[in-house]
């Protein structure tokens, strides 16, 4: 894209324009996707509870999310008198911005990433861990008891599950030999039986795919791990004092992170933009279509779990992270590395 703009402007300006266009090509469809998956989320919950869900605004209720967005946009932004005004306003912006920035390294096709960097996986791990700052700042700046409890919970929860996610990623990196997400995807071509294009059926990586899926639900505070906004205990958690667009930014950031985790799960374990089978005719379908299909399936699993699994207690959440997932993922790093040393390097 930079070469295209360089044909009629200086190289520096062409790079800047190409980067801005690339950001918009990711951010704008992502915002539309968030609006639609909120609708899909509510429809899935309704179907599993034998209800109809949104069905009034627009055909089949498709415009319900846009109506909700217009409603919060027109509402007044109320800031509590005892709140720290600056931090109170910047907290949802941090959550929303971090959720967008993480998409910069996701490959949508062969060499179709805004930033195809060699340490893409490390970038994702670093940028996703910054999302907790928005929640902590919102809880502290609200100067209210329940949001502060929520912020403390969020900090403990995200630290607990990022540790196990880190070890899961180490297993994938060991098998692939690269932190580059494009290389991780291409290394899955024909991985199983020479024609199945994903890691998830690998006996050594399948348990880690399950650990990553569950940990990503905890990382994004999705049910049954939504202890940061448990309405039966702490009202609405860190969002309690928020209204209008500041409240909507938290929702956009949350669903953006959910889609990101679905995309990362698809990229690491389900072949990313590769078709499920290494058959030439399947490559006629653009890679971005395969990636979106896998993301949507992952999001259906997220919604399915939210609609059917009751919320964990906080002690159960911590026990799962520290006493089960952490030892399991750590042991699996040794198992995968030992297997590769014996089979790949002959040690």
Interval 180-204: pLDDT, tens: 999 999 999 888 888 888 898 888 9
Cα of 164 vs its chain's centroid, Å: 16
By the 10 Å C-beta count (0-12 exposed, 13-18 middle, 19+ buried), 27 is classed as middle
Give the model's pLDDT for residue 149. Answer: 82
DSSP 192: B
The radius of gyration of the chain's CA atoms, rounded to the nearest angstrom, is 21
Angle 145-176/326-343 helices, nearest 10 degrees?
A: 10
Cα angle for residues 145, 149, 152 (degrees, 5° grid): 140
Question: In 3D, which of 85, 31, 109 has the Cα closest to residue 290?
Answer: 109
> Backbone phi, then psi, for 187, in 5-degree steps?
-70, -15
> What is the pTM (predicted TM-score) of this model?
0.90
Give the model's pLDDT for residue 347. Answer: 59
SS3 assignment, position 328: helix
Give the model's pLDDT for residue 160. Answer: 85
Give the model's pLDDT for residue 130. Answer: 82
Give the model's pLDDT for residue 12. Answer: 75
| Element at 180 (helix H, strand E) | none
Q: 157-176: b or e for each residue (b if 16 or more CB lie within 10 Å)?
A: bbebbbbbbbbbbbbbbbbb
Question: In 3D, which of 214, 212, 179, 184 has the Cα closest to residue 199?
Answer: 184
By the 10 Å C-beta count (0-12 exposed, 13-18 middle, 19+ buried), 31 is classed as middle
The stretches in the chain having pLDDT less than 50 are none
DSSP 157: H
- C-alpha–C-alpha distance, residues 276 and 190, integer Å: 9
**CA dihedral for 249, 250, 253, 258, sign (positive or negative):** negative
DSSP 79: -
Question: In 3D, which of 23, 2, 25 has the Cα closest to residue 14?
Answer: 2
Tokens of 50: 């034998």
Which residues, in sequence order, are bridge partners of residue 196?
192, 277
Question: In 3D, which of 257, 256, 286 has the Cα closest to residue 274?
Answer: 286
Helix residue ranges, H only, the chain = 2-6, 11-48, 64-74, 85-101, 120-129, 131-141, 145-176, 181-186, 206-219, 231-234, 244-269, 287-308, 314-319, 326-343
Give the model's pLDDT for residue 1. Answer: 65
Cα angle for residues 65, 67, 68 (degrees, 5° grid): 65
């Amino acid at each position: 894209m930079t070469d295209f703009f360089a044909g009629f402007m200086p190289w520096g300006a062409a790079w800047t324009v190409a980067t801005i266009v690339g950001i918009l090509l990711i951010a704008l469809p992502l915002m539309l996707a968030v609006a639609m998956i909120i609708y899909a989320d509510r429809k899935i919950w309704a179907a599993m509870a034998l209800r109809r869900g949104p069905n009034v605004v627009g055909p089949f209720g498709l415009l319900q999310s846009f109506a909700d967005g217009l409603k919060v946009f027109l509402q007044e932004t109320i800031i509590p008198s005892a709140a720290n005004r600056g931090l109170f306003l910047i907290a949802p912006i941090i959550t929303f911005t971090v959720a967008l920035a993480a998409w910069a390294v996701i490959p949508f096709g062969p060499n179709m990433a805004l930033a195809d960097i060699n340490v893409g996986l490390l970038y994702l791990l670093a940028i996703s861990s910054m999302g907790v700052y928005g929640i902590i700042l919102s809880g502290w700046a609200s100067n209210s008891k329940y949001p502060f409890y929520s912020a403390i919970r969020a900090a403990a929860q995200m630290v607990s599950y990022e540790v196990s996610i880190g070890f899961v990623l180490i297993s994938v990196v060991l098998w692939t030999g690269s932190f580059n997400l494009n290389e991780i995807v291409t290394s899955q071509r024909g991985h199983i039986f020479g024609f199945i294009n994903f890691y998830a059926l690998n006996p050594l990586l399948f348990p880690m795919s399950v650990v990553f899926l569950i940990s990503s639900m905890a990382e994004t505070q999705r049910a049954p791990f939504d202890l940061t906004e448990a309405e039966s205990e702490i009202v609405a958690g860190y969002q309690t004092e928020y209204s209008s667009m500041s409240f909507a930014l938290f929702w956009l950031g949350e669903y953006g992170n959910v889609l990101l985790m679905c995309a990362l799960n698809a990229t690491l374990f389900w072949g990313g933009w590769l078709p499920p089978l290494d058959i030439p005719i399947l490559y006629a379908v653009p890679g971005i279509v395969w990636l979106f299909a896998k993301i949507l399936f992952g999001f259906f699993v997220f919604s399915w779990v939210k609609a059917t699994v009751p919320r964990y207690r906080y002690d159960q959440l911590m026990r799962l992270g520290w006493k089960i997932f952490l030892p399991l993922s750590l042991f699996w790093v040794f198992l995968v590395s030992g297997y590769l040393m014996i089979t790949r390097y002959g040690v």
